[in-house]
């Protein structure tokens, strides 16, 4: 069988694309390896990221590494797809002739055809999981209609396009039959889900239908937008035990000056009101958010407001990105990148120092509690699990002493016995 190595870079939305592609390859008779430590197939396909500077650099470096492997005869064919090639298609083709062909983010059929196979429309809702078998990502929409100053996503992926509910239900049923118990529902903008198809927000009805599928026990929501947030989702979360008390909502800043410059269509007061309502409707909710430091025009006063906001709001999960000046965005066209990179990074580091202390304090309040966890894997003398408040890869983990024989993919009740800045320690009750 011909071997194809698929390399996925970037976010979980890219990973879902790779999983659909891998299923098509396998149906065409290919032997597929994903993110192998030793790619040595006849063919390598790189699914790239092109969101911000660091991601673009990683994608280019990876392409160059495999171009060298092709030159040395270690691989025979090299193809590149995804966000980077969608964004810089013409430029990449000229500068990287070692690549046999570039494809955009959505041109799977062309790639499959060029490899001598045939696209199978009957497999449109099927994919081969690259995650542990008990959880999967479910991408409910593509693209984004927001016009945030700094963001290249709409340039790369186009307008927001929701996937119909019946297709998502069919896809989830197929995942459940494979043993998936936990869904990470993802989109660039969950808040807008359904508006383009149904003329109204439909995230709450969607997750209610997904929760009815046999085998699905946890549903976790990622990447909501604060402006126009669908409040009925919180009612579902409060009442439905399958919907994790967790919301990933990117706020980016709190200063009205910055929120306006970022074109976020939300104010400081709007943001604080939304957070208060979330915590009132779902008292145990864990909020994950991201902030940007060093956006053009960010003053010391703006940054101090951000630090104070993080310190007083005490988000359960938080990440920070130094601003990246991206071609063709509103900021690129209209603002000067006026804050030195070292200042951007220093500010990001300061925010994370505050967050580290908050995380430790919040973790310590959980000592003595009993929590339901799902086991991801075993490492040496302990098991690694997650609570409903922890998404894979990005959030803290629960480390459980291996006094009892636990099975990855199963749920257990554990007692929290210790805490660090980001991880918890536990034993099985």
What is the predicted pLDDT for the residue at 56? 84
pLDDT of 146 strictly over 70:
yes
Share of the chain above pLDDT 90, in %: 81
pLDDT at 212 over 70: yes
Q: CA 233 to CA 219: how far, in whole Å?
A: 12
Range in 53-57, 66-70, 262-266, 332-336 the model is least confident about: 53-57
Cβ(248)–Cβ(223) under 8 Å? yes
CA end-to-end distance (rounded Å), the chain:
48
User: pLDDT at position 236, please?
Assistant: 98
Q: Looking at the DSSP assignment, which residues form a beta bridge with residue 8?
A: 47
pLDDT of residue 1: 58
The phi, psi pair for 223, rounded to 5°, reads 75, 60
Q: CA-CA distances (angstroms) from residue 48 to 158, 166, 321, 344, 421?
A: 17, 29, 20, 26, 32
- 381-395 per-position pLDDT tens digit: 899 999 999 999 899
> Tokens in use for 290?
């991201």
Helix (H) or strand (E) holding 205: helix 203-211
- At 89 the pLDDT is 85
CB 420 within 8 A of CB 360: yes
Structure-token pair, residue 352: 């994370």
Best CA proximity match to 226, nearest among 183, 269, 165, 280: 269
Q: Which residue has the higher pLDDT, 11 or 320?
A: 320
Q: What are the two backbone dihedrals, phi and then psi, of residue 174, each rounded to the nearest 5 degrees?
A: -65, -40
For 228-249, the pLDDT digits (tens) are 999 999 999 999 999 999 999 9
What is the tens place of the pLDDT at every residue in 263-283?
999 999 999 999 999 999 999
* Nearest residue to 183 via CA among 226, 228, 130, 220: 220
Kindly state the average pLDDT of the residues 192-215.
Answer: 98
pLDDT at 42: 87
pTM > 0.85: yes or no: yes
Range in 42-56, 296-310, 357-371 the model is least confident about = 42-56
What distance in Å separates the CA atoms of residue 351 and residue 142, rounded to the nearest whole number? 31
């Amino acid at each position: 069988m011909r071997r194809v190595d698929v390399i996925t870079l970037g976010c979980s939305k890219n990973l879902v694309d790779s999983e659909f592609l891998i299923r098509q390859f396998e149906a065409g008779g290919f032997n597929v390896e994903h993110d192998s430590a030793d790619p040595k197939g006849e063919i390598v396909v790189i699914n790239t990221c092109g969101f911000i500077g660091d991601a673009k650099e990683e994608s280019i470096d990876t392409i160059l590494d495999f171009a060298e492997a092709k030159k040395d005869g270690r691989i025979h064919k090299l193809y590149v797809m995804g966000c980077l090639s969608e964004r810089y298609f013409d430029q990449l083709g000229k500068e990287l002739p070692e690549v046999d062909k570039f494809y955009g983010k959505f041109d799977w059929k062309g790639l499959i055809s060029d490899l001598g196979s045939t696209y199978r429309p009957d497999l449109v809702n099927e994919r081969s999981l690259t995650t542990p078998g008990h959880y999967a990502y479910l991408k409910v929409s593509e693209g984004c209609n927001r016009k945030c100053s700094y963001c290249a996503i709409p340039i790369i992926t186009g307008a927001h396009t929701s996937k119909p509910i019946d297709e998502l239900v069919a896809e989830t049923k197929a995942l459940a039959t494979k043993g998936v118990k936990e869904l990470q529902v993802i989109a660039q903008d969950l808040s807008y889900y359904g508006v383009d198809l149904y003329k109204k927000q439909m995230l709450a009805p969607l997750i209610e239908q997904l929760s009815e599928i046999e085998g699905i026990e946890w549903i976790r929501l990622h990447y909501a937008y604060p402006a126009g947030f669908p409040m009925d989702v919180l009612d579902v979360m409060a009442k439905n035990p399958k919907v994790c008390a967790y919301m990933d909502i990117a706020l980016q800043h709190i200063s009205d000056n910055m929120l306006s410059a970022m074109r976020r269509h939300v104010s400081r007061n709007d943001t604080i009101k939304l957070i208060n309502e979330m915590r009132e409707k779902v008292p145990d909710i864990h909020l994950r958010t991201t902030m940007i430091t060093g956006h053009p025009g960010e003053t010391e006063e703006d940054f101090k407001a951000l630090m104070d906001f993080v310190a007083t709001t005490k988000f359960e999960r938080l990440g920070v990105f130094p601003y990246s000046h991206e071609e063709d965005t509103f900021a690129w066209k209209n603002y000067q990148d006026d804050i030195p990179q070292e200042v951007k990074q220093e500010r990001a580091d300061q925010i994370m120092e505050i967050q580290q202390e908050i995380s430790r304090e919040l973790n310590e309040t959980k000592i003595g509690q009993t929590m339901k966890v799902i086991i991801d894997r075993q490492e040496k003398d302990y098991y690694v699990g997650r609570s409903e408040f922890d998404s894979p890869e990005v959030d803290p983990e629960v480390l459980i002493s291996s006094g009892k024989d636990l099975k990855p993919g199963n749920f257990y009740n554990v007692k929290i016995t210790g805490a660090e800045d980001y991880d918890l320690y536990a034993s099985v009750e």
